[in-house]
Each structure stands twice: as C-alpha cells, then as structure tokens.
Amino acid sequence: MKRILTANWLLALAGAALTAMALAGTARAASTPRPHLITRWENFTTANGMPDAKVFCVTVDGERVWAGTEDGLVLIEHGKVARVFKTEDGLAHRVVMGIALDQATGDLWIATFGGVSHFSGGRFENFTNLTSGLLNDICYGIAVQDKFVWVTTTAGVSRYNTYTGEWTNWSEKNAPFHEPWTYGVAIADNIGKIYFAMWGGGLIEYDQVQKYMKAYTDPDEEMELVLFKNQGLVHIIVSNVAYNPDTKMVWASTYFGLSGYDGRNWHNYLNKDSGLASDFINAPKTRRNEVWNCTDKGLSYLDYKTNTWVNYRPDKNTGHGEIEIVWPDKTKTKLETPTALAHNYILNMDFQGEDIWVATAQGLSHGIREIQKENQLYASARNRRSPGKDAPAHSQEGR
Amino acid sequence: MTPRKPSSGSHGHGKDKLLRVLRGSKDLTQRTRRTSVTSVLNLFRRQRTQRNDGQERVPSHEEGTVPRVASGRSSRCAWLVLAAFVAAAMLWAARIPSPEAAPLGPQMSAAAEPEYLTPVEVKLSPDGAKLYIVCEGSDSLLALDTRTRQVVAQVKVGDKPRGIALSPDARTIYVSNSWSDTVSEVDAATFKVRRTLKTGWCPVGLITDPPGKTLYVANSIGDDVSVIDLATGEDTKRFRTRHYPEQVTLSRDGRRVYVSNVLPLPTAYDQPPASELLVINAQKQTVAERVLVPGVIELRHIAEAPARLGSYLLVPFVRPKNLGPLIQVGQGWVLTHGIAVVRPSAVSATEGGKSRVTEVLLDDIDYYFAGNEGVAFTPDGRQALVTAAQANVVSVVDTVRLARRLREVPSEELADRLDSAETIVAYRLPTGHSPSSVEVAPDGRVAYIANRLDDSLTVIDLARRRVAGTVDLGGPKEITLLRRGEQLFNSAKYCFQGQFACATCHPNSHLDGLAWNLETPQLGRDRVANRTLRGVRETGPYKWSGKNPDLATQCGPRIAKFLFRSEGFNTQELEALLTYLNNIPLAPNRHLAADGQLTEAQERGKAVYYRTHKNDGTVIPIQNRCDTCHPADSHYTNKLSADVGTATKFDTSGLFDTPQLDRVYEDAPYLHDGEALTLEEIWTVFNNKDTHGITSDMSKEQLNDLIEFLKTL
C-alpha cells in the first residue's frame, strides 16, 4: 500500500512537472517572435514582358506597380506587364534608377541616367543639365516633398520647386559633402529633416527649418573595419537611405553593413554578428518595425523590435525559395518555398500592403504573403528550431 | 488634299450680305483709305534712319520700309562706321551700370484714361435669372437681371479679374483676379466679397467640383492648376500644365476637369506646334490624361456636349502655318481658325486611354473668322456657338451636320479643309468688339455674349437666328485713342480676308510661343521667334533684325505690306494702335518679393550679372558683360544689334536686336529663332564659344543664380 502511495505520489509529481513544463513551453511559444513570411513569389522577367533583366527600382502606386529597368519604365497592372515606356515615348533616358510617386497628383518623377522625367497623364516632360537647373544628368534617387522634387546625382543634390521653377543645388561647393556623388534621398517630414546617402560622403542631414546640412560619417574612418561600437555610421560609403516615420529612425545602407539612427543613438548591424544576409547592401526600406535590406545575397528583413531576421534568397540548385530565420538567440531555421526571388542580387523593393515587390538583377519579383502557408511553415519551423535564449533588440555584439 | 480655290460663286446672296455686314458698310477692297495710307508711306520714305553700323538706309518704293545699304559711298561709309564705333565705345563707357539702377523704365501713364469695364467672362445663374459679368477693366463683378437687362448689382474684386465660377448651389461666386493672384469669393445674395483666396500666378479660369468643396484654378503664368480646399481656403496642391493655362471646365458628370492652354508645348523651333488639353480626374484629383491637340495654338474655352450626344468637347483654336513663309498670306492658309472636337477617353492615359481629337475649321474659303474664343452648347446640344473675337462674329454650328462632317471626311484631312464651314455653320451673326465669352440660357432661347472692348453684351435670339439686342453695361461712352487702339489691335478686318489680327499672334498682347518664317520668301530661312508686346514701349528698335526704329515703322505700312497684305491702318488708326502698344503694361513680377528684397540666390545671381571678372580672376571684356548689352536703365536692352553667335545656316545675318529682359521668364522660347526653349539653354546649349557673355567658367550653381536674378527683372 505504501508502495502504491509512493508510486502515486511520484506519478503526481511527474504529472505536475510535466504540466509545469508544458505551461512553460506554452508561455515561451507565446513570446516567440513571429515575423510574417513571404510564402510565394511571382516573377516578371524578360520572358514575360520586362524590357530588361536588370531592375533598379520599384514603386507601388496602389494597385499599380512601376519598375525602373536598364531599358525603360515598366507599368505592372493586373498581374502582368501592362506597358513599357522607352526613350521613344519621351522618357529622358533608358536607364531608370529611381521613381517617386507624387501622392497628391498621381504624377511620377523619374530619375534616369539622362536627367529627370516627369510623367503625367501619359506624357513625359524632361529636365536635364542643359535644359534646366538640374546639377547633373546621372540621377539616382528622387523624392517628392510637397511642391519640391529632390534629386540625387553624381554631382550633388538638386531641388526643384515645381511652383516657382527654381532649382537649388547642393554640392561640395556649398555643402559639407566629402564626396558629391549622391545615391539616395529620404524625406523625414515629421522631424523636419531630409537625408541623403552619399557614396563616400556618409549620411547628410538637411534641416528644413534651419536650412543647414550636417554630415554623419564613420567615426573610426576605417574602410574595412568597425572599431567603435554604435558610435556612428558604420561606413561612409552609403548606398541608400530610408526614413521610418513611425519610429522616427533613419536607416542607411552601406557596402559594409547597416546603420540605424534614432536621432540620439546609432544601431549598427553586420553580417558577422547579426542575421543580416550580407554587408553589401544596395538599399534599405522601412515601415512599422520592419527594416528590409536589399543585399547582394538576398533580401534581408529585420524585425527591429524583436531583433529577428528573415532572409530570402533563391536556392540556385533547386530553384526553390529559401527562407532563413535568424532568431534573436542567433539560432537559425531554414524553410523552403516552391517559388523564389528572381535573383539573390537585390537592388530595391517596395511594399504593397502585406505583399512586397523586389527589384533584382534578373527581374522583378512580387512577394506574396499567404497566411495559411505561413502557419504551415511556422509549424514546420517549430520542429526544426534549435532552442535558445531570446535576446533583446540591439544587443548584438562586435560592431 | 488640294486646297480649293476661292470662289465667289460658291456663296449665296445671303452670305454676301452677311459679309458686307461684317466687313463694314464698304467693301474692304473698295475703301478709299489709299490716300491716307500713301501719305503715311511717303512720310516714312522721307525718313532717313541711321543703323547702328552707321550705314545709311533709304527705304525704297519697292521695299517699303525695308532698309537697304546705300552703295557707291565707300569713304562716307567708312567715316560713318568709325563714328558709330566711337559712339558705341562711348556708350559702353558711359553705361557702367550701377547695380542699384532702377530696373524699370516708366510706363506711359494711363491716369487720364476713363475706366472701361472690359467684360471678359459671363456666367448665368442656374435659373437663368442673373447673368454675372466679370469686368477686367474696372476690377469688378456685375450682376445683370436677364429679364430687365439691367445691371442690378456690382462689387469690386481684385486686380484684373479674368474668370468666374459658381458654387453648385449658386450661392457663391468665385472670381479670379489675374494680377492679384487671388480668387474673390462673393456672396451671390449680398454681392459682397466674403473672403479672398490665394492662388498661383495669374489665375484665369476656375471651376468648383460637384460637391462644391474644391476649386480648380488655372494659373496662367504659374503654368499650373491650383486645387483649393474651399473649407480651409488653402491651395492644397498643383497640377503642372503646359503652357499658359486659361480655361477650366467641369464635365457634366462631374468626373473630370478640363484645362486648356493658350500657348503651345515647348517644341523644337522647326517643328509644327501642338497644344495640350489637361484632363484631371476630379474624383481622385489626379491627372488622367494630357491630350495633345496637334498643329494648333491658343486653345480657349471648352464646352461639353450633352451625354446623349457623346459628351465630346469643343475647344476653339488657331492653326498657324508658321513654318511656311508668311508671305503666303495672299494665298490664304497662314492662320486658320476652328474648333477641336475632342472625344475623351473613358480610362486614364496610364491605363492605355487616349482621347481622340479632330480639328475642324470654321473659316470660309475667302473670309476668315479670327480669334475663336468663347464656345457654348444649346441645352439640347444641337447647336454650338463659337465667338470669333477678332472678327466680331458669333458662328452657330449645327452639331448634327458637324457629326456628319466628322463621319464623312477623314480626320487627318479636316484640319486643313476650308470648306467645312459651308456645311456645319448654320449662320453667323455680328457682335460687338471682341466677343470673348458666351453663355446660353437654360431654356435655350437666348445667348449672351460679352463684348470685351465694347462694354456691352450681345443678346442672340436663337429661335429667330438674329441679334435680339445689345445691352450697354454702362462703361464710358468716350472711345479714347488707347481704347480705339486696343480695338484695332484685336481686329482682323485690316488683314487680307480677315485672316488675322495683331492679337492673333500676340494673344493677351504677349507672344504665341512660335518662330515664324516672316518675310523671306525662302522656306525655312530667317525664322524669327515672336516677341512679347508687354512693356514694349521704349524698347525699340523693333524686329530681331532691328530694322524698324520705332513702332510706327513696325506697325504702319510694313504691317500692311508684309503681314496683312492689305491697306493696313490709316494715320489715325495707326496713332491709336501705337497709343495702345505703348501702354501695354507689364504684369507684376511674380519672382520678386513685394518689398523688392532679393532672395539669397537672386542676390548671388545679381552679382554674377554685374561681374567684371571671371572665376579665375581674369577681367571680362566690357562687351562680354551681361549689363553692357542689357543695361538696367533701359529695360535691359542697349537697343543695339549684336552678333552673339546664335545665327544658324538658315540666317542671312548674325546681327540681332538685343531684346529687353523685363519679365523675361514669361517670354520663352528664347533667342532670335526660338531655339532655346528655356533660359538655361541660352547658355548651356547656344553659348559654347562665350560669344553671348562669358559663361563657360560658371558653375551650375552660378548659372542657376543668374537665372533666378534674371527672373526678377
């Protein structure tokens, strides 16, 4: 009898322990980050209507999608290439590097290697170094800010006042540009700033109220090393810039890592100590708690709040899509999707609701989020994930 | 297609009678003004003028006022050349400019001039009981009781009002003030200005959206359309236009806003012009389409046919043949006038939509009806009234016949067919001077036409096809010399077959944006860009060649011989015309702050304009400095001709008159042949050898600053 009681007591203890373990597991599962996943890819390539394989930029306009390629401007509509606009249609140059949608008018402002095109009502109006006050015809980035159009060029920054026709230029002659070669522009209206990505010149901040420019450069001034942790921009070769009005953070992509700046502190990410797919980043995009990085080794997503990374790239052997989740504790989970990005060399991207559009070196990819498939993938991920310790955001080491 | 030869036999007796009415009591060809014209000719022949190169020119009988170089006097010529050189050098030396020099010369005072009303726009209340009249001359808005035909209310608005719109409930009237850059919001019941809304530069046409929440305003000089939130009064956004937008219309279904442009799109000077009709999606407030209307300029009012007729648009235009020699006036076809029939696309341009455009002329083969401006449909859409502002005529188009014409004749032919009017114009009626705007009463019985230069309305009885009466709006009865001159400027009857008036090529007393093959009978040679007449006083000599020392020479017998191909103006008429020309004012400078303070960029540009040294410190020769040829004390022109290296192989001479620079930002295209479409191109494209000022050492920033300063002149 005593033996039976002891056995019962042991069973109860074991049950309680199991229950406690189960409860603990449930609690852990509930706190696990779960970034949403792109589960399907539809690609637009030269095989289905794109004029050129290399897609430099993409801009979502409601249900429409505009893509800039090495040979013209493309309109994607109703799931297909609806129209292609080339120089014979009036486009300033075949190489389209940037597209900005004027939300107020529905017009597009387009940065090309032959100046700026304004596309409105089916017609182009072009601005070049010879016909206007544009600083240089090699234009990379473009942004619309109310009545102003900002253009980044190889010779500096140009601003066009669409109401008065006035052009204002900033270059090494009148601004703190270590190098005039400017790649990207991001409007940060809710903090009164505009940011410029300078190739070799760091990140430039323009204060709209005080009307002055301030340069953020790499404090250690090392081209290949990052010696000081979070003390400034990770590198002065800044390839592009994005501003997140929700978090009031500016993100600068460099060829040597990612830098985020919240107005007080810098938050830097490298491939070696974070989930970043590659330090060579062509452009960042950001919204909510998301920072998407267009790298040479795939599309690298950071959930900034939970410090979880998701990397997308095509598997060259199978042609399937590879999803790599890097959890906050640095453990990794690899998943597979039947479809994949058009290429791992990513140049740009944009959001369309929960979907994304990605410009790659081999076509334009439409990334689609399917909730059911996402749940299935997470279910399979639970089985494969190696347990680890959750890390708070921005606690990475080694920068 | 081969043009049909004029044939008097093709016109009926009634038409001949009408033409006599239109041309005045005497036939133009039988008028006995030859004596006075001859005396003017002789007067000019007696004049011996000195060219800036010192060569004497003696107008010959054969050449009219065209100068020719006197021959066989080589030694005298040499002395004259030397004297001229010395004089020019002294001029340069004496004209070391002060940067603070007054930027503008005086305009002739018009203080003694009575205040004419100058009604430019009319708008009927929805019930037809009131006709609102915008009076540009008196800066006022009038209300006319259409039953009694009496002006029952008036209110002062802003400076030079040009356009009008009613709120959907007709309780509010919006009037655009083109020189104030505002819209006056007038209470229709009390006829008092409630508030004043800021717009872009030079607002003209305007319209509200169906809910009455948004006001669309065409800013002519600003080259855009303001979208004004009527709740807050704020100018929320702008749509870019090309070029000089003036009239705005809302489609009957309220879904679209149409905007017409007076000047053509900037185009290579040797290409035919094309104009743009902007289509705005009123629901999304985005640009739906930019409709290209090829071969024409001066798109004016816009009227939409009723939906059951297809909701097509009618837009009056001028069709210039500026690439051919203007000497061809005698053969006709140089400037024709008609309406564009635009069938808007159901979908936007980016969705692949494309509106269809057909152009139909309203001229007769042997008489033209210049200055098509106002247009309105009758309520049933069976008739469309088109005012010919420079012929003082309203043409009533039978739209059933128009539709048949469009079906029967290929679209590409119609634009050049002068026989369309025989088919589609039901009748024409005379109006007062410069009929600019027309409204048809809701019951379709009468139409009201604003006679801009008569201070009157013409009332048309549409049932009886006759003029029912003229309403005197109460302007001054005296016709001053200046007013008479403005009427002459806007009258095509002095041109052979009434083909065009001064105002045809100088709409709004400005320019038409084209380069013309004016006098040389060789196709494509010596093309010259049209030049503005605003502020033209004291800027002589005239013409790009600088051949005409004064406006009398420019506009007298020369006009008759080379342009109008008729007897032109008599002495009194010429005096009146010159009075008007000498008083065409410059519009307010939109690039200059009200207090005259320059911006930082403008200040920097001013320093560049007056610089004496290149960036590397070397001295710029005095003849290569901006202010040498463009001195501030004489409208920024030294009134001499210069070779600035802009001549092409098509030009006989490289010497061109130095243009004035007042309001230069309004005057594109630039250079003698209009090759430079923007101010930048003057230096970036056409000054490679530093022959038009030293600019090759300038940075882009300096050039931009210079241009910002030039815009303040």
A151 to chain B: which residues are within 8 Å by CB?
none
Rounded Cα gap, residues A235 and B584, in angstroms:
61
Quick check: A273 pLDDT over 90? Answer: no
Please provide residue B214's backbone torsions phi and psi, each rounded to the nearest 5 degrees: -125, 140
Q: Quote the crossing angle between the two packed helices B571-581 and B34-46, to the nearest 10°.
A: 60
Predicted pLDDT at B59: 30
Cβ within 8 Å, pair A135-B700? yes
Q: Residues 274-293, chain A: which have Cβ within 8 Å of B? A: none
The helix (H) or strand (E) run that includes residue B231 is: none
Nearest CB to A106: which of B284, B353, B704?
B284
A148 to chain B: which residues are within 8 Å by CB?
none
Quick check: A168 pLDDT over 80? Answer: yes
Find the residue in B nearest to A169 (Cα): B701
Is residue B547 packed enough to be buried (19+ CB in 10 Å), middle (13-18) or exposed (0-12)? buried
Predicted pLDDT at B26: 35
Is residue A75 less than 8 Å (CB to CB) from chain B?
Answer: yes
Rounded Cα gap, residues B686 and B646, in angstroms:
6
Q: How far is A193 from chain B (nearest CA, A)?
A: 21
**How distant, in Å, are the alpha carbons of A68, A389, B168, B389 from that of A28?**
45, 10, 63, 83
B665 to chain A: which residues are within 8 Å by CB?
165
**How distant, in Å, are the alpha carbons of B85, B96, B627, B629 from that of B93?**
12, 6, 12, 12
pLDDT digit string, tens, across residues A132-152: 999 999 999 999 999 999 999
Cβ within 8 Å, pair B701-A163? no
Cβ within 8 Å, pair A165-B665? yes
DSSP state of A256: T
Predicted pLDDT at B583: 96
Q: Kindly give the residue spans of alpha helices, DSSP state H, lying in chain A.
A: 2-31, 371-384
Predicted pLDDT at A33: 79
Residue type, A283: A
Q: How far is B312 from chain A (nearest CA, A)?
A: 19
Q: In chain B, which segments carry CATH 2.130.10.10?
A: 134-240
Third-level CATH fold of B585-713: Cytochrome Bc1 Complex; Chain D, domain 2 (1.10.760)
Q: How far is A392 from chain B (nearest CA, A)?
A: 44
Q: How far is B239 from chain A (nearest CA, A)?
A: 7
Third-level CATH fold of B134-240: Methylamine Dehydrogenase; Chain H (2.130.10)
A153 to chain B: which residues are within 8 Å by CB?
none
Find the residue in A nearest to B289 (Cα): A121
Tokens of A15: 């049950």
Domains defined along chain A, listed by start? 40-384 (2.130.10.10)
Map tokens 């598997």 to a residue. A315
Nearest CB to B222: which of A64, A77, A163?
A163
B285 to chain A: which residues are within 8 Å by CB?
104-105
CA dihedral for A92, A96, A98, A101, sign (positive or negative): positive
Predicted pLDDT at A118: 98
Find the residue in B nearest to A74 (Cα): B350
SS3 content of chain A, % helix, strand, coil (to 5): 15, 45, 40
Is residue A207 less than 8 Å (CB to CB) from chain B?
Answer: no
Cβ within 8 Å, pair A105-B239? yes
Beta-bridge partners for A310: A301, A325
Find the residue in A nearest to B277 (Cα): A121
- Taking phi first (over 0 means left), then psi (-120 to 50 degrees means alpha), and beta for anything else, what does residue B263 get? beta
pLDDT band at A26 (very low <50, low <70, confident <90, very high): very low
Best probe of the A interface among B181, B229, B240, B667, by most A CBs < 10 A, is B240
Is residue A147 less than 8 Å (CB to CB) from chain B?
Answer: yes
Nearest CB to B701: which of A75, A82, A169?
A169
Rounded Cα gap, residues B683 and B673, in angstroms:
15
Cβ within 8 Å, pair B678-A123? no
Q: Tell me which of A262-266, A310-314, B289-293, B509-513 is least confident.
A: A262-266
Q: Tell me which of A13-27, A29-43, B523-537 is least confident.
A: A13-27
Nearest CB to A133: which of B236, B290, B704?
B704
Cβ within 8 Å, pair A77-B351? yes
Nearest CB to B349: which of A77, A104, A122?
A122
A105 to chain B: which residues are within 8 Å by CB?
237-240, 285-287
Predicted pLDDT at A224: 57
The number of helices, as runs of H, and strands, as runs of E, in chain A is 2, 30
Nearest CB to B349: which of A121, A164, A167?
A121
Which residue positions in chain B have pLDDT lower than 50? 1-110
Cβ within 8 Å, pair B222-A75? no
Nearest one of A119, A21, A163, A112 to B349, comparing CA atoms = A119
Chain B interface, Cβ < 8 Å to A: 200, 222, 224, 236-240, 242, 276, 278-279, 281, 284-290, 292, 348-354, 590-591, 601, 665, 677-678, 680-681, 684-685, 699-701, 703-704, 707-708
Is residue A153 less than 8 Å (CB to CB) from chain B?
Answer: no
Nearest CB to B601: which of A123, A130, A168?
A168
Residue B268: count of CB within 10 angstroms of its CB: 11
Residue B697 CB contacts under 8 Å (≥ 6 apart), including other chains: B614, B615, B616
Residue A266: count of CB within 10 angstroms of its CB: 20
Q: Residues 350-369, chain A: which have Cβ within 8 Å of B? A: none
Is residue A83 less than 8 Å (CB to CB) from chain B?
Answer: yes
Is residue A176 less than 8 Å (CB to CB) from chain B?
Answer: no
Q: In chain B, which segments carry CATH 1.10.760.10?
A: 585-713
Find the residue in A nearest to B265 (Cα): A125
pLDDT digit string, tens, across residues A89-104: 999 999 999 999 999 9
Find the residue in B nearest to A155 (Cα): B700
B283 to chain A: which residues are within 8 Å by CB?
none
The helix (H) or strand (E) run that includes residue B246 is: strand B245-250
**How distant, in Å, are the alpha carbons of A109, A383, B634 from that of A106?**
10, 48, 45
pLDDT band at A391 (very low <50, low <70, confident <90, very high): very low
Stretch A215-235: mean pLDDT:
75
Predicted pLDDT at B673: 94
Residue B545 CB contacts under 8 Å (≥ 6 apart), including other chains: B641, B653, B655, B656, B657
Rounded Cα gap, residues B410 and A112, in angstroms:
40
Best probe of the B interface among A120, A159, A211, by most B CBs < 10 A, is A120
Residue A272: count of CB within 10 angstroms of its CB: 13
Residue type, B645: G
**How distant, in Å, are the alpha carbons of A41, A137, A309 from that of A367?**
5, 33, 17
Cβ within 8 Å, pair B350-A75? yes
B222 to chain A: which residues are within 8 Å by CB?
163
Q: Angle CA(A192)–CA(A193)–CA(A197) in degrees, nearest 5?
A: 165
Q: Compare A385 and B494 and report the one with higher pLDDT.
A: B494
Predicted pLDDT at B326: 78
